[in-house]
Each structure stands twice: as C-alpha cells, then as structure tokens.
Structure 1
Amino acid sequence: MWFLYLLSWFATFVQVCLVTLALAAGLYYLAELVEEYTVLTGRIIKWLLLLTAGTYIGLILFEDLPYYLTLAGLLSTGFYSLLLMNFPFIELMSPIFILSCVLVFINHYLAFRYFADVWHPFSEVLAFFTICLWLVPFAFFVSLSANDNVLPTTHKHSDSKGNEDIVTSYFNKRSKRSGILSLFDKVKDSVLPERTKRF
C-alpha cells in the first residue's frame, strides 16, 4: 500500500512538471505571435477591454454583487484602455502602468474578500476571475515584449563619431529583448547551453 502512495506523489510531481512546461511553451508561442502581429494584438486587447466592461455592466444590471467590486473593475478597465494609446510601447515606469498594476492587486483583494464572505459556486467564481480580473492583464503581460519588434521612427547617434546608421542602430537595439521573451531566453540559455559544432 505504501508503494502505490509514493508512486502517486511521484506521478503528481511529473504531472506538475509537464503542465509547467506546456504552459511555458504556450506563453512563449503567444509572445512570439504578439511580436509578429502587434496591430492585431492591439485590436484583440481593445475587444477584450470591451468584453470586460460589458461583463461588469451586466453584473451591475443582473447580479447583486456589491457596487464597490464592479465599479473598481470598471475603473481599472478604464486605466487599462489608457495603456492602448501608445501600444505596443508600454513604459514600465509610467504612472498609468504603475496605477494599472496597483488596480490589479486592489481588484483581486476586493474579489477575494467578497467571495470569502458570500458563497458562490466555483464555476461562477472562476468565471468572474477569468473574464473580469485575468483576461486583460494577461494580454498586456504577454504583449510586454511587443515593442522590441517595432521599426524605429527616429534615430539617435550612440557613437561619438556619429557613423552608425539607422539600420545598425535598430538591429543593435533589437538584439536586447525585454519582457517575457527575454525571461524565456535566459531560462533557455541556463538550462540548455549552446552546443559547439565539431568538424
């Protein structure tokens, strides 16, 4: 009996590793798609914002959720929409981005507090968290590295002699990734070191 119990713990560990690997591969693929299709990604995020705002309005009209929960969600949706004004360029130190991140935590706190006090079926709680709290921030999180692939519009000379052209400057800057893809590249380099070819 003890052997099967140990085997179940080992199988659980293997399953968690496989799910984590699949999630990482999916996130990497999504980040690559976002880098390739930034205009389409901006439109998709705009539609996700409209879906989330419509969901909050539907919750106000048809459900008896407290107003502080739904109005805080609508306020955060408004701040998320301000991030689309310069999409795909997202300044991580801009006040709008920082306030959006703070609102994500405030919305989660309010939702956890409400659903801890008032019982709802798990499917309803999961639907609220997925549509109202996770969908749009996740889309922005995946698209953080999208501005790495945008063509330059102005040129700044980084060389003291000024002999670097705009294309060289773009490709030098482009090699330095930021966001989720840079995280995956660092993990890939540390886990799978580059092999040298033998002749």
Structure 2
Amino acid sequence: MWFLFLLTWVATIVQVCFVTLALAAGLYYLAELVEEYTVISGRIIKWLHLMVAVVYVGLIIFEDFYYSVTVLGLVSVGIYSLMLKDFPFIEISSPVFITSCVLVFVNHYFAFRYFSTVWHPFSENVLRFCFFTVCLWLVPFAFFVSLSANDNVLPTLQTPAGTSHSPVCPP
C-alpha cells in the first residue's frame, strides 16, 4: 500500500507542474494578444466592467448578499474603469492603480468574511468559486495581463501627459 501512496504523491506533483506550465503558457499567450490588439483589448475590458457591474446589481436585487460586499464591488468596478481612460498606458505609481490594488484585497477580505459567516452547503462551493471568478478576479486579472501592453505600443497622440517615449536609437 505504501507504493500506491507514493505514486499518488508523485502524480500529484507532476500534475501541479503541468497545470503551472499550462497557466504560464496561457498567460503568455494572452499577454501577446493584448500587446497585438490593444484597442480590442480595451473594449473587451470595458465590456467585462459592465458585465461585472450587472452581476453585482443582480446580486443586490435577486440574492441576499451583504450590501457591503456588493456596494464595495460596484465601487471597485468604478475605480477599475478609471484605469481605462489611458489604456494601455497604465501608470503603476498612479493613485488610481494603487487604489485598485488595495480594493482587490479589501474585496477579498469582505468576500471571505461573508462566505465564512453565511453557511452554504458543501455542494454550493461552486457558487463561491463562481463569485470569486466573475466578481473578484476577472477585471483585475484582465488588467494584470495587459500591464505589459504599454511597453510595445508605438507613441501616438494618446500617450499620457508627462511621459516621453524616446526612440530606442537616438538620431
């Protein structure tokens, strides 16, 4: 029986490695798509904002979710949408970006607190995963993937004020 136990651990480690590599390859591919199609990526992220906002409004109207979770989620979607103003130029040191990062953690805290105090049967764990995926991870993940998009965008009239994009080889 010890051999089967050992084989189970080896198989688990191999599966974790494969899943990690697949996730890394998927992130790399998504980042390449965002760099190639920045305008379309901005539109997709805008639609993701609207979809998540509609989900939060649906949670307010149809479900017994805490209002603090849903209202904070709507506020965070509003703050996230402020980053679309200069997309794909996301300034990491801007107050909007820093506030967005803080709101990701605050939203997770409120969601964990809600799901730890409100009892759901074990069969409804899928609901928790769906809430975290759609409401908490989708939009920040889209911005995370698009962080490298401004590195390869040619300078245009849309560059934010105060940033200079000098050519790679000076004349």
Fold match (TM-score > 0.5): yes
Q: Does 1:128 align with 2:131?
A: yes
1:144 aligned to which of 143, 147, 165? 147
Could you say which residue in structure 2 is the equivalent of 1:45?
45
In structure 2, what is the Cα distance between the partners aligned to 1:71 and 1:54? Answer: 12
Query: Does the aligned pair in 2 maintain the 1:53–1:77 contact within 8 Å?
Result: yes
Could you say which residue in structure 1 is the equivalent of 2:156?
153
Residue 4 of structure 1: how far off its partner (Å): 1.1
Letter in 2 for 1:91: E
Could you say which residue in structure 1 is the equivalent of 2:109?
109
Higher-RCO chain (CA-CA 8 Å, sequence separation at least 6): 2
Pair member with larger Rg: 1
In structure 2, what is the Cα distance between the partners aligned to 1:151 and 1:115? Answer: 45
In structure 1, what is the Cα distance between the partners aligned to 2:169 and 2:45? Answer: 29
Identity %: 70
Letter in 1 for 2:81: S
| Residues 112-160 of structure 1 deviation map (CA, whole Å, 9 limit, x = unaligned) | 0000111231111111111100000000000000001211238xxxxxx
Unaligned residue ranges in structure 1 (runs of 5+)? 155-165, 174-199
Residue 172 of structure 1: how far off its partner (Å): 5.4
Unaligned residue ranges in structure 2 (runs of 5+)? 158-164
Count of residue pairs brought into register by the alignment: 160
In structure 2, what is the Cα distance between the partners aligned to 1:130 and 1:172? Answer: 43
Please show how residues 23-34 of structure 1 align to structure 2 within 5 Å: 23-34=23-34
Q: Does 1:170 align with 2:167?
A: yes
Consecutive aligned runs of 4 or more in structure 1 exceeding 4 Å deviation: none
In structure 1, what is the Cα distance between the partners aligned to 2:41 and 2:156? Answer: 20
Give the TM-score, by structure 1 length: 0.78
Indicate the SS of the match to 2:167: helix
Provide the aligned C-alpha RMSD in A.
1.5
